[in-house]
Structure 1
Amino acid sequence: MGISIPSVLGQMIVFLLFVMFTMKYVWPPIMKAMEEREAKIRDGLAAAEKGKAALAEASSKSDEELKAARVQAQEIIAAANKQATQLVEKAKGDATTEQQRIIASGHAEVEQMAAQARDALRKQVADLAVSGAEQILKREVDAKAHAEILDRLAARI
């Protein structure tokens, strides 16, 4: 079998018809599918870029809100510390006032008890003096007896 011009020519015509058929009926759907796929990829890349931008924006917003929350937390802590200090100072003032009141009350009570003790001692001394005078007057005037009575009075005091 040899290659002859009419068979080569026939093969060329058949090949040409095959190429034209392919270009008219096969190639357009393939090209359409490729263009659709390219459009989907392009849209996906654009959506990814938008998502990346939105993520960066959300991240910066969350950082700003976190900073604001930290500042607010610090302010709350500072206010709580200030209030605690004020409460402690008020409690110290109240305690000092109460301490002074208790001390004054104690001094007054001590003074009152001392006055009562002095009065009781005065009364006892007066009673002893009267008792001693009675005993001296009941006996005769005798120096030895007077000394003895005074010694007993001194022992009672």
Structure 2
Amino acid sequence: MRIRNAAAGGLLAACCLIGWGTPAHAGTEPTETTTAEGVEGTEGEAGQLGDAEGGTEIEHAAEECIHILEDGGTVDDCHEAPSPILPPTNELIWGSISFTILFLLLAKFAYPGIKKGMEARTERIRDDLEGAESAKVDANRVLDEYRAQLADAKAESGRIIEEARQQADAVRREQEARLQTELAGMRSKAAADVESAKVQAVADLRREVAELAIGAAEVVIQRNLEHDTQVQLVDRYIESLNNRSN
């Protein structure tokens, strides 16, 4: 739409320039025709110059001289060199008018489209910047969430490791307590076995000592003693030995 408006404005300006330039050129032709008779001498001098430079240059010089005479100049002014910088007055006027019209047309048709295009471009750039900023904010948010999850995972792993260590310590203490209990039971059983063996050994020793003592007593006194009497004698003897040892 903006390109179409600009093209329409340029085409309209070109049509206006062409339309206004044609009447101006047509308006100058009658003047040139009517004044041609008054400047025959000048055309004669221009014709002499034309023999040296060519017919086309002669016609151009003659036209310029006619314009100078129409503007109130003299024949001597026809021989002055034109300005290499400033254009003729009529061209300057028509150029200024054309430039003004073209500028107004561009300002009316092309400038709004260009302005809208610049505003749309600015808005698009602003939207892109806002989108980039939003994407940056989202990326920072995702990064913060990832860091938080990583911190939670580290804390959870630390908690699991601590629980495992505590459980291992509890199992170790339980095993140590059970082992100590088993060792205490084994010690108690061993002590009981030792005591039982000791009692059995003492009983066996008493029996053997009693038998030896009875045998010796029978040999000495040459008579048999009653069994109960023998046992009493042996017990008394052993008790007397124990009393002595104590």
Q: Same fold judged by TM-score > 0.5?
A: yes
Question: How far is the alpha carbon of 1:43 from its aligned partner?
Answer: 0.2
Aligned equivalent of 1:93, options 174, 177, 189: 177
Alpha-carbon RMSD: 3.4
Greater radius of gyration (CA): 2
Gap runs ≥5 in structure 1: 139-157
Aligned residues: 138
Q: CA deviation at 1:45?
A: 1.4
- Please list the CA deviations of residues 9-29 of structure 1 after superposition, one character each: whole Å capped at 9, or x if unmatched: 222234335435544665455
TM-score (normalizing by structure 2): 0.44
Find the partner of 2:123 among 39, 44, 56: 39
Structure 2: gaps of 5 or more residues: 1-81, 223-246
Q: Once the two structures are aligned, what percentage of the paired residues are identical?
A: 28
**AA at the equivalent of 2:135:** G
Which residue of the other structure, out of 113, 126, 129, is the alignment partner of 2:213?
Answer: 129
Superposed CA deviations along residues 31-81 of structure 1, whole A, max 9, x for unmatched, are 444233211110011112323333444444445445544554454444334
Give the one of 170, 195, 201 matched to 1:111.
195
**Partner Cα distance (2:110, 2:99) in 1:** 15
- Candidates 52, 77, 83, aligned match of 2:136: 52
Measured after TM superposition, the shift of residue 8 of structure 1 is 0.8
Quick one: higher RCO (CA 8 Å, sep 6+), 1 or 2? 2
Structure 1 CA distance for aligned equivalents of residues 142 and 218 of structure 2: 111
- Indicate the residue corresponding to 2:96 in structure 1: 12
Alpha-carbon offset, residue 130 of structure 1:
4.5
- Aligned partners of 1:23, 1:129: CA distance in 2, in Å? 153
Deviation at 1:105, TM superposition (A): 0.6
Give distance in 2, aligned partners of 1:72 and 1:6. Answer: 93
Q: TM-score, normalised by structure 1?
A: 0.62
Once the two structures are overlaid, the 10-residue window that deviates more, 1-10 or 101-110, is 1-10
2: CA distance, partners of 1:133 / 1:33: 146
Matches of 1:33 and 1:135, distance apart in 2: 149
What amino acid is aligned across from residue 41 of structure 1 in structure 2?
I
Matched position secondary structure for 1:122:
helix
Measured in 2, the distance between the counterparts of 1:37 and 1:134 equals 142
What's the CA shift for 1:102?
Answer: 0.5
Q: Secondary structure at the match of 1:104?
A: helix
| Stretch of structure 1 that moved more, 35-44 or 23-32 | 23-32
- The Cα offsets for residues 94-119 of structure 1, whole Å up to 9 and x where unpaired, read as 12211210111101111122123223
Q: Which moved more, 1:80-89 or 1:108-117?
A: 80-89
Q: Secondary structure at the match of 1:11?
A: helix
